[in-house]
Structures are given as structure tokens and as C-alpha cells.
Amino acid sequence: MLLSGGYRDAIASQLRAVGVEPKDSEALATELAAQGKVYLSVNPRYESGTTDFNTWARDHGLHPALQDAKRFGIHSLYKHQEEAILAVKQGRHTLITAGTGSGKTECFTIPILDWCLNHAPGEGGIQAIFIYPMNALAGDQTRRLGAALRGMALKYGIYVGSTLQSEPKISAADLAERDPARLYTRFEMQHHPPDLLLTNHVQLDWLLTGDAGRKMLERSSSTLRFVVVDELHTFRGARAAHLKYLLRRLRDATGATPVLIGASATLGDDRAAIEQFGSDVFDVPVHVIRADGEPNVLPRRPGPPVHPVAGDKGSDLVRRGWLHAISDILAARNGIASYGEMLDALRSQLPYSTSPIEPDELLLQCLQASISGEVEDRLDFRVHVFIPRLRDVARRCFQCKRLFSSSSETCPVCDAPAFPVAKTDPSAVLAVACRERLTPVKPYGPVPANGVPVLARIASATNVARGSVLRFRPVELTSDNVEIRTKKTPGFKPGG
């Protein structure tokens, strides 16, 4: 299977990166790939803006450095992007909710850059803080921002858990390859705050708590103009309350009243509820800008696609109507379908015994022809690949040490109890120690009374029958079958 094979390889690579043995990573990746975590979707079609970007930028007085569509990789704006840019330029607290691929980043990046370029760029004060829920997203946006800032006087930096305090001396060759607009260490950013700071809510909390970080923010009291919270829908319940008071503390520490901007793809359809949610989290009334796109599918063709013949290439398959067939399958499923659903639907339209091409190859060739521009018909699509976390998908057997998917609570080979694998250590498992017994922990489940969560590592194989529990002793007895690591707990003695 072509696409699922690439997905399996990607999972195996991620598993090896966290220390899973090659034989275990290949077996587990094959199991997970068979569960179909690959999806195909059609990008929505949004209402176009009034004119091309360069003309619009000049007409609305954007900084000359921004009047270049190539800088952002676009030709023109959508209508909701134009509305959002103008709202932010006017200093309105704004919440942008639009689907994936709608250009939400440009909605706030363009007006923020316009402000920063017009207000003492590079002068040692933070002008905008971007808060992301995940470091991977912050890193991706850092790369995009770096590309957009080429040739400008603005400075930027990413301040997350992996950001080094200082760096050892680097070679002249490595230094020459670095972006001169980027600050790479905490020391640099603390002493010379960048115009644009990308971080997460946890690190912002640390900045407000620590002496060096607080001084860095206080130094920006006269410059801080914007705070952006991307993927705002991830802040619900306690996280939303934390964010609300975090923003209050930021305002108190800096004395600034920045324009607050939120962006999200999934906040529902109730505009009043969205506005209330944004106002509750930001603690100020917000202006909501919504964009409801429609699946950008191809027009339906009369009649079924023509059966393929031996030697057909992607362009031939498209001319025979198979790209339209793929589009019709997606349209019937509201614009999104799993890889397995796509193959089943295509298989039902191919001749059972005489087809010269398999469904997965047909799908891949049609999509490649659409991307390459070999054909007039184009399908605006994207592929979604979900790589699960190790803790959520893997269990390990104490009997044979085998690693397998978490769909089974016992080992499929020897029927021994299956323990969830630790997220940070694939050689260890999550367990509960209770009254001299070690039992598998239930992820996100309650801990039994008198039980203590522990991290257990298998020292040697033992005979364990299904349904039994494992007795254990303190970690000093390494000859025992299980090695235990746990935090000191008053009144608790491993092994009784």
C-alpha cells in the first residue's frame, strides 16, 4: 500500500527516535498503520478579496516592505483576511475563526508586522508576543516568520523549554548560515528583547515568575502592542482560566494594554457563543471574524469513470474521469475521508478481476497528476497524517518483553498482563504499586486506594499467567524480576 506504507515508515521513525528497538518499532508501526490514521480532505473554498494583494496593500497604507505578495507566498487575500487585517490595524481585540488552510496566520501577522515596522523596529523591546499551545507549532511558525522577515530590521526569537540559556562557541561556517534577524538563546532575548517573541503559556508563566524573564517583559512596557493566542480552542476549562489570569499578570507586569488576538479553526457555529468565549478568556469584548468555506470539489461528471487500461499514467487516469470520481467520494463525505474509505470506494468502481491498477496506485497517480499541473483539472486537497503518542498506543509484556498496540490488555503471544509503556522511556512501563502487588495502570484512570503510581522496568522474564499480579521488592534487589522507580511517599514502603 503506497500511502499507508509511507505512514508506517513515519511511525516507525518516530518510535525509533524515542528509543524503541528497531524490531519492536517495525512491528508496532505495522499494527498502527493498519488502523488507518491517514485522511484525505478537500480544502474549503473561501470568498475572495477585492483585488490582488499588492494593490490592496498600497490602497490601505501598509508599510512599503509589506507590499510584496511573494513575501507571504500569496497572490490575493480572502475577504475574511482583509477584514481581520483592518480590524487589527484599528486596534480591535479580534477573534478569527476559520478552517484549516484559510490563511489565519496572515490575518494577524501582516498587521502586526505593519505596526512593528512603523514603530522603532529592533530597538530592544517586545512589540508582539505569540502564544502557541505546542512547541512544534511554535517552531513551524518561527520558520515561516523568519522567511517573511527577510530584509527587514525586525528581530524575532522563540522562547520555549528547549531554548538554550547560552550556547557554546560555534564555527564561523555555522554562524554564517544563521538568520541575522533571529535571537537564538535566552540570554540574548533577556538582554535584548526581540520585536516578535514566540512562546507557549507555560514559558510565559515562567517569564512572569523569574527575575530575568520579568525584567525582560518590564523592559517592553512601552513597546508591547499585541498578544496573539493561536489555536485558542485548546484552552478550555482550567487551561482557559490559567490563560485568562496569565494575560492579566502580563498586563500588570508591563503596564501595557496590548491588542489581544485569538485564532482557531474549531470554535463551532454559534457566533454569540464564540464571542462570549473569547470575551471570557481575554477579559475584554472581542470582535469575531468568521469564515465558512465550502468544500472545493470538482463539478460532477455525468456517468461513471472509464475503466483504466494497461500503461495508463496519472494524466490518462484523470482524463478517464478518476480524479472527478475521487472528488465525488470526498463530496459525499462532507469533504473528508479516511484512506481506507477512499480505497473501498474506488475498489467498488474498478472491474473486479481485469483492472490493471490497484486502488491505492490509482489514487496516488491521480493526486500526483493534479499537484504537478499535468492536467487541466485540479483538486485542491491535503493529506492528514496522525502520529500517536507512544504512551497512548503501546503496551509491553512482562513475560516475553514484546511491544504491541494498546488495543489488547493481555499479550497476544503469551497471554500475560500488558502494561502501558512510559512516554519518556520505552523500556519502562506504567504501573500501580498496592499492597506488595504491581498491576497495570489505566491511562487517565483513577489510582486505587493505597496505590502509588510507579515506573517499572523489566529486569528478566518470569512466568506470569493471565489475570495474575506481579509481586515486587525494593529497587535495591535488582535480581528480582521487576525494577521499580518511584518518588518518596510518606508512609509507603515498597514490598511491605
220 shares its domain with 100: yes
Q: Answer whether residue 1 is part of any domain.
A: no
Q: Answer whether residue 53 is part of any domain.
A: yes
Over residues 425-446, the pLDDT tens digits come to 667 777 777 766 777 776 556 6
SS3 at position 292: coil
366 shares its domain with 460: no
What pLDDT does 448 receive?
66
**Mean pLDDT, to the nearest integer, of 186-200?**
94
Q: How many Å apart are CA 87 and CA 236, to the nearest integer? A: 25
Q: For 31-35, 157-161, 304-308, 334-338, which range has the lowest pLDDT when averaged over its residues?
A: 31-35
CATH number at residue 258: 3.40.50.300
More confident residue, 40 or 115: 115
**Mean pLDDT, to the nearest integer, of 356-365?**
88
What pLDDT does 35 receive?
58
- % of the chain with per-residue pLDDT over 90: 39
> What type of residue sits at position 464?
V
What pLDDT does 113 receive?
96
354 shares its domain with 422: no
Place of cell 527577510: 150
**Mean pLDDT, to the nearest integer, of 7-36?**
68
Task: Judge whether residue 12 has pLDDT over 80.
Answer: no
Nearest to 188 by CA among 203, 208, 167, 207: 167
What pLDDT does 466 receive?
44
DSSP output for 396-415: EETTT--EEETT-SB-TTT-
314 shares its domain with 403: no
Lookup: cell for 199: 512562546
More confident residue, 353 or 491: 353
210 shares its domain with 324: no
342 shares its domain with 478: no
113 shares its domain with 166: yes
More confident residue, 335 or 284: 284
Q: Is the pTM of this model over 0.75?
A: no
- pLDDT band at residue 22 under the 50/70/90 scheme: confident
Task: Judge whether residue 385 has pLDDT over 70.
Answer: yes
Over residues 204-238, the pLDDT tens digits come to 999 999 999 999 999 999 999 999 999 999 998 89
Q: Answer whether residue 160 is part of any domain.
A: yes
Domain around 371: 38-43+296-385
Task: Judge whether residue 33 has pLDDT over 90.
Answer: no
140 shares its domain with 253: yes
Q: Answer whether residue 496 is part of any domain.
A: no
Q: Answer whether residue 425 is part of any domain.
A: yes
**Mean pLDDT, to the nearest integer, of 248-262?**
95
Q: For 20-34, 99-113, 210-224, 340-354, which range has the lowest pLDDT when averaged over its residues?
A: 20-34
Last residue of a domain, one of 292, 322, 353: 292
331 shares its domain with 476: no
What pLDDT does 32 receive?
65
Nearest to 420 by CA among 379, 389, 451, 450: 389
β-strands 48-52, 76-78 pairing: antiparallel
**Mean pLDDT, to the nearest integer, of 360-368?**
88
27 shares its domain with 12: yes
Last residue of a domain, one of 385, 407, 440: 385
Over residues 44-101, the pLDDT tens digits come to 888 889 899 999 999 999 999 999 999 998 899 999 999 999 999 999 999 999 887 7
Q: Output the average pLDDT for the chain.
A: 82
Q: Answer whether residue 495 is part of any domain.
A: no
**Mean pLDDT, to the nearest integer, of 283-291?**
94
376 shares its domain with 426: no
Domain count for the chain: 4
Q: For 205-209, 364-368, 380-384, which range has the lowest pLDDT when averaged over its residues?
A: 380-384
Beta bridge partner(s), residue 264: 97
What separation in angstroms does the CA of 364 have from each of 42, 125, 322, 355, 392? 15, 49, 11, 16, 30
Q: For 19-23, 242-246, 470-474, 475-479, which range has the lowest pLDDT when averaged over its residues?
A: 475-479
Task: Judge whether residue 363 has pLDDT over 60.
Answer: yes
What pLDDT does 194 receive?
94
Q: Answer whether residue 490 is part of any domain.
A: no
Over residues 96-118, the pLDDT tens digits come to 998 877 889 999 999 999 999 99
What pLDDT does 468 receive?
45
Q: CA end-to-end span of the chain, whole Å?
A: 53
Largest CA distance in the chain: 78
- pLDDT band at residue 486 under the 50/70/90 scheme: very low
Task: Judge whether residue 490 has pLDDT over 90.
Answer: no
What pLDDT does 471 receive?
47
140 shares its domain with 266: yes
Last residue of a domain, one of 277, 292, 307: 292
What pLDDT does 281 receive?
94
Over residues 450-478, the pLDDT tens digits come to 777 777 765 543 444 444 444 443 333 23
Nearest to 330 by CA among 38, 41, 44, 101: 41
What pLDDT does 379 receive?
87
What separation in angstroms does the CA of 282 have from each of 120, 202, 235, 243, 275? 27, 17, 11, 8, 11
> What type of residue sits at position 452?
V
**Mean pLDDT, to the nearest integer, of 248-256?**
94
